[in-house]
Every structure is written in C-alpha cells, then in structure tokens.
Structure 1
Amino acid sequence: MPFLKERNKVSRSRQLENLTRKNGLRHAIFNTVGDKYIGEWRNDFKTGKGALLTRYRQLYEGDFDEGYRHGFGVLAYELENKIFVLEYRGNWKRGRMHGFGLRRFRDGGVYIGDWKNGKRHGYGLMWYPNGDFYAGDWVKDKRQGLGMLVRPDVNRYEGSWYNDMKHGKGRFIHLTTGQMQQGVWIRDVCVYCTFIDIRYRQSAIRPTKYPIQKFRRNVSDITQPHHDDNFLLRWLRARSWDAEAAEKMLRQSMKWRQQWEVDGALKTWQPSETLLTYYPYGSTGVDKEDSPVVIVPFGGLDIVGMLHAVGRQDFIKMTIQVLEKYMQEAAERGVQKVSVIFDLEAFNLRQYAWRPAGEVIISLIQMYEANYPEILKTCYIINAPRVFAIAFNVIKRFLNEYTLGKMLIFKNDSKKWKKAILETIDPSNLPQHYGGNLTDPDGNPRCITRVNQGGKVPKHLYKRSFEQNPDSVTAKQYTTAVIKKGEKLLLDYIVADEGCFLKWEFRTESHDIRFGVTLKDADGNSTAVVPHKRVAAHQIDESGVVACQSPATYTVTFDNSYSLLRSKKLHYEILVTPPVEKMNILPQEDESIDEGVTSTAATTSVHNSV
C-alpha cells in the first residue's frame, strides 16, 4: 500500500543542498562585499586554519571557528606602499582579542598583555607614543589596580590606579630632583602627601636646593624660636624656592601679624556672644595622619547679619583666631597641615551680591593666601549647588594653584563625598552626618555641640543701621519697568577698567521673562556671556555675577518678544562694581558698613520685536 511505503530520512533536495555546502579546504572564496578567504570550511562556515583579506585591506591569518576569528591568529593592515604591518598577534575569541596578545596601535603605542572581549583587561605592559611606559593592571581598557608609570624623564609613579587616574595609596619618585612624594591620590591629585629625600639626591640630575640655612640667617631678625625648618619650608615652597621672594612674603606676613596683634592681644581677645553663637565652624577629631579636621557649615553663615551685628573687624579677628587655633593644634601633634570639610548645604548666593559681604570674603581669601601658605592638606567642598559655580569663578582668581589643587568639589550626592572623605578620615572622628559614627548625647548626627552650625542673626542684635535690607524689594534698590508684549528692554553698561564685575538681581510679577547678557568688545565683536533663555523669575528671584573684560560694552536683555498677549512687570537692580584689584581688610574710618554699591548709569532702550 502507498501509505505503508517507507519514507527517506533526508529528502533529495536536502541531499543536493548538503553536496553544495563548503567543507574541507578551499583554494579561494570571494564574496560580494570584496572579502577574500583561503582556508578550511565546515558547513558553510570558516572553521579551522585560514587567511582572510577584507575589503578594508586587513589581513588575518590563523584559526577560525564558525566564521569568527577564534584561537590564535595574526592581524595586519596594508599601507599605501602595499606593505602589510603587524597590528595584533595573539589569542582570539568569537572575533575579538581575548587572552594574551601583542597589539601595535596606529599612533605608535604598543601593548603586550591580557585581553578580554577586545579590551585590555588583566595585567599588561604599555608603551605610549609620548615615551611613557606603564606596567600593571587593566580593567576594560583603563589603568585600574596596581601599576607603575615611568615618564620619559625616568620619574615614575608606583601605586593604585582607578579609571585611568592615580587614585589611592602610592608614591611618585622624582629621580631628576632626588625626592620621593608619598601619600594618597584622589583622581590624579595628591591630597595627603609627604616629600622625603632619596639617598642619592645629591647625585640626581637637578637635585632640589634647600636654601634653609641662608634663608634662616636672612630672616633671623623677625623669626621666633618656635619657627623651625618646617615653618620656613612653607614660605620657600609658596614661592617656588625663590629665597628672595619667600623672604619678602614672610616679612610682609610678620608686619600683618603685628598689625593685627596675632601673637599678642588677639590670643586673649574674647569674641562676642553673637560670634560664638553664629560663626559656623568646629572639629570632631583628626584624619588618619593625625592632622586636625575642621568642619565649616558655610551654608549657615549669615554674612549680612554678622557684619551688622559685630562689624567687619571683629569678623576678621574671629577668622584669624580660628586659623591660629587649628595651626597650634597641628603643631602640637607634630604636623603642619589641616583638612577641611566645607559644607555648602543651604548656600545662598544672593547675600554675597551685597558689596560689603562680597568684599570681606575676598579679603579673607587674600589674607589666607598671604599669611597661611601650604597649610591645607585637603578641602572637601560638599553639597555644592549649581549657583556655586558662579561664585567659584569669581573667587578662584584670588587662589593660587596649590590651594586649587587641594580642593575636591562634590555636588549634593552624599554617597560620593562620604566615600571620598572616609578614605582619609576615620569614621570615629566624624559626625554621623558626614559618614562617621559620632553623635551628640541627644543623638544629633551633626554634633552641634562641637560643630557650630551658624544660622540667621536676629535683627535685634544689629548694632548698625541698614537702610536697604537686601532681603526686601524697595524702590531705592530696584528699578521697576513694564515690558510690553512683543518688546524688549535693553540695558547697556560700559566697562572701562579691568577687575570689574557685572551683577544683577531681578524678579517679575506673575509670568516668566527671557533673559541674557551679551558682550561687544572694542573691535565690535559680539559674544554671548549669558545665553538668552526664559527664566521663571516670578517664582524665585534671579541673581548672578560675571567678571568683566575691558574695554567692552555689556548689554543686558529682558525679552518679552515671544509674548503676544501679556506685558511683564519687572523689578531689577543691575550694577558694575568698581575695579577689584587689592582690597584692604582693615576697616576704613570713613566707611560705613551699610555703604551700598552705586549702580553705573545704563543707557536704556525699548525695541519692538522684528
């Protein structure tokens, strides 16, 4: 019966198809995209030994498996003169470099070591085109783990790496100068470091010169018995080992100390109750190298209230006393530096737009740089809001490179800044709020009994009148204008001197406004300083400041051209400050604390939108 006939297990068409499959050794196979392959096949896949020349003029010779480079093989690329140059020689897995291999990069670099999924991963050696050499651990094409980097001048770093940066414990050996820098690195910056001399320093190419004895003789008329070599080295380092510049700096600092009676009356000076209550600072211990840790909840500083309640002179004296206190504590512990946690939680930029407040902060920075060089080990600036970038762009011009190099700025991400802080400070010496274990007896995680949090100074403590309160909108402070629908308000400010700043503060009623600042230089070229965009000034006051170049004209634009239905009522204050070159931190007899900033006259015009 037909239905009882035994069927073939493989159809005739399938049998013919199998006969056409590529199996075994083939002389040459070309495909439609321009590749050429000579080698072994299995079931239509390149499998076994073979050579593949791609349309990109890359030649691979070695092992294949199911069409992939798999096993051991050599990859080369063709130059314009038809010569093939080695690119990779080593192990492969499913088409990617995997295992041990050597690769020559087209920029001249060479790597020998472990690979994983096409990336350097494991232990390997890397010769860079610029002459650097690295031997150590890799993770996904990044130097990570333990490794050694040797520079072309034979100076080298040995220690921990993370994400292609020096990070963790390590040492940098300066063979050219005969010194070794040892400590802790964070993101390529040495934050806890000590310098020691190598035994063969005098045989180095450029041995570091220590003019200590000569420097000590030159300043012997102003130094005191407790000013040891470590003290003198601070001034030499601050002036790049220029003994004359260091002597000048030290003499100026000693005059400053006499002027403020730092070593005399200031030691017994008693701050007022207002300062003791509202000046934000404190300490709960030391770091892992026994240096004092100072915590500054700067966001809690009411600078406007402070200047009205105690005055500028007492505020500066309090700052000097705090600096001297922790320098004395460091000296008693046998160290020279302090670590700082600078907390910007609740930071308000608006109060620093008031000229006396901004000037006193800049004056304190200048005072610190001139009289306390090389004392900062690390400064963790945490909880930095977006507006802090505006303030930092202003103050960083008054900081030297050493101080800037010690600053680590973190946004409001406690996981990141707590991890960084705990790398150098033990939890037993930190409040729980900053990642430690300490709390007050009542369980407060900020340890407010040891770290003063600052706060708003009550107005009944004010000793000086302040006719114009920066927290209120008055006719004396703000100019009011109505910008009609479809129109713009343009304010032109001419800046003739270097060191000026353009400041603004404004608000609108009920609706937003488009705001921007442009600059026109002496050649007539226009540049956007603040990009024009819509801001919700009806919800929160807008304020800002930019450093000005000169000569130039700055145009502040309030744009309502996009609105076809509504006019906008605007209250604004815009001013150009006088040049900020050198500020005297001594109060002037004829200067009142409530002296405001006089606005530079602006040429105002209203334009219809095109």
Structure 2
Amino acid sequence: MSEGLGAYDEVKEQRLEFENSEDERRRSKIGSLKKKAINASNKFTHSLKKRGKRKIEYRVPSVSIEDVRDAKEESAVHELRQKLLDRDLLPFRHDDYHTLLRFLKARDFNIEKTIQMWEDMLIWRKGYGTDTILEDFEFEEMEEVLQYYPQGYHGVDREGRPVYIERLGKAHPSKLMRITTIDRYLKYHVQEFERTLHEKFPACSIAAKRQICSTTTILDVQGLGVKNFTRTATNLLAAMTKIDNSYYPETLHQMFIVNAGPAFKKMLWPAAQKFLDAKTIAKIQVLEPKSLSKLLETIDSSQLPDFLGGSCTCSAEGGCLGSNMGPWNDPEIMKLVHNAEATFVRQITSVSSGEQNIDSCIQIHPLKGRSSDISTAESGSDVDDSCSPTRQSSSRFPRLAPVHEEARASDPTAYYSCDDHFSQVDKALDTDQGLGEFFQWGHAKFRRYSGYSLV
C-alpha cells in the first residue's frame, strides 16, 4: 500500500513539474512576442511621423503597385473616416482610402460638407440599386446604341490611365431614343462607372504598377451642331453630369475636346460649360483639328485610334470603339483582379498560443475594389486552418483578417503594407486572460498612433 501511495505521489509531483514548466514556457513565449510587437509598433509609429509625400508599395504575386500619398490629405482622410464610422455611415465596401479622398477633394476638404455628400451618395446607391447593378442590369441594346452614340474605352494613356472616347459629332439623340430610354441609358452609364471602379482601375493599376484612380477622356466634336442638342440630349447630358459630379466625383484626370471648329468655340462650348463645375472645366483642353497631334503627348500612338491621329485600327474587332481594348482584357491581369487572395495587407502583430494563432493586420479588399461578403463556417471543423479566409465565427475581441504565418516565412513575394480597408476577422479566440489583455493593449496602441480602430 505504501509503495502504491509513493508511486502516486511521484506521478503527481512529475505532473506538477510538467505543468509548471509549461506555464513558464508560455510566459516566456508571450514575453518574447510582446517585445517583437513593441518593436514592430515603434517602427510603425516612426513611419507615421514622416511628413510630406510618401510612397507605399503593395505586392501580390508578381505585382508591385506604388501609391504616392500626401501627408495632409492622408490626415484628412483619417479624420473623415473616423467621423463616418462614428455616424455609422461607412459600409465595408466603401471603406477605401482613395474613395474617401475623392469625395474630400470634391468638397475642398471641408469635412462636414463631405459627410453630407457622402450620405447623399449612400442614399442614392441604395435607392438606385447600384451595389448590385453589375449583376442585375443587362443592356441588351448596346450594339445598336453604339451606332447612334459611338463611345467606348480604348487603351491607356502614357501614365496607365484608361482612355474613354466619345464621338459626339456622330451622335443622333432622336434615333437613340428609338432604341433605348433615358432611364435605361442612365443605368448603363452607372453600370459602366461601377465596372471602371471595380475592374478597369484595378487592372490598369496592375499593368502600370502604380495606383490608378482616374481616366483620360476624349470628346470628338467633329460634325457636332445644334441638331445634336435636342431636348432629349440636353436632359440626358444634365442627368449624367449630376450622377458624375454627385456620386463619382474626381474620377476625371483630364479631358480633351478635339476637332473643335470656330462654331463650337463660340456657341456650343460656352453652353456646355453651364453643366460643368469649375474644377472640371480646368481639366479640359479644347483642341482644333490642326492640334490633334497634341494627343500624342499624352497617349502613345499604338493606344490611340487612327481617326484621332493614332496608329490603332482594331480591324479584327470591328473598330476601336467596339474593341474595349485595355489591360482589363488581359486574362492574367483579370485573374488577379478577381482573385480574393490578391489583397494588400500590413502585418501589425502576430501572437501564437498553443495550437492557436492570433494575427492582427489591416486587410485591403481585392484589387478590383469590391469587398466580398465574409462567409460563415462552423467553428471547430477547421481549427488547423485558422487563417482560412472563408472561416468566421463569433469573437469577443475585435479582430482583423488574419495572415498565414507560413506565407510570411516561406513566400518571398509576400509583402505586408498599409492601406485603409478593414474587415472583421474570421476566427473565434479562446485564449487566457493574459493574451486577451495583450491584444487589447496592441489595439489601443495601434489606434493611438494611426487614428484607426480595429473594430
């Protein structure tokens, strides 16, 4: 009996020693991770103190995109973002740095005016069904419309922006309205804007390896006269202008009005300016037929249709305006645009405890600029894949989308950088109180220096 009790005591003592060693190992590991997090935070803080313009590089496999930002603009975006969050006016799909910046520019960086403009935009989008218009609306009459309103995207300018072209002199509003209606054409107009934001801009950004958020537009007014300015045409132009200025501001980089004769300059151009704001007018150059070659300073000849002085004919596609030529038709580029894995992130902290990994980072939505819905999976079924982008369950801690630890260690193309698109995290935390306090400490420190909340 005494021998049995002695053996039992020995086993119990060994178990206590093992548990103590495990506790000591865990405390040591947490202490080490705290030091790493503090060092990372200090580096992050130092980077935020830099002034002037700064360059941010994002990388997805085989892609590096440069984004140059102004410190004052960035500060204004941060302030606007926080106020929109406080008022519950920032849906996930619109939580994007460059989108917020465009609206700020449209209101001369007046925060309250920008918030009002933003709120009006959200109300309009909900009523118009804009968030789903790419899937819900089909413009079957497109080919016929192009016969009486020749238009389309064709190529990019020398800096990589998409080039949009309209041949207004060949437009026939009365014939156009026999094929479609103003309401349907406006829906098509909005749909194309959404396609540009979510596909063309991201594709051009990948191709140019720099952030692309605006277009170069060419309006060919050769043959344009009073016959083109019917009541229908005026109403359509006014409606499109309101949509562009109110809901898609600051997407125009520059505009060329080409083949402008004396009659256009004296009569039509002064009338057209009534529909435009001063900022837009400042971006417009009016070129006479003899000055058409000036386009080649901005657009390479291979990207410019022959009827505008370029060398492109798109003969195989039936003409340039029907070809939709551009990086958005490159299958390899579009794989990245539509690939949910192609996101830009900056690593903030990485904490491991036992079998669970805790990652805190900022996740930007895919290059196409659209946020995919966060899907839900049953907890416990895929614990080994704790960073699965399709996994989500309830959590008592505010978290952001995780980054695979293995990718950081083994993938030479993996790069984590900063942007301003946030998402909730998809894995529940089941950690002890010490780790919970540590994560909250990291959250508070991050928010202090960045102005962002991880919530």
Normalised to the residue count of structure 2, the TM-score between the two structures is 0.50
The answer to which structure has the higher helix fraction is 2
**TM-score where L is the length of structure 1:** 0.38
Higher relative contact order (CA 8 A, sep 6+): 2
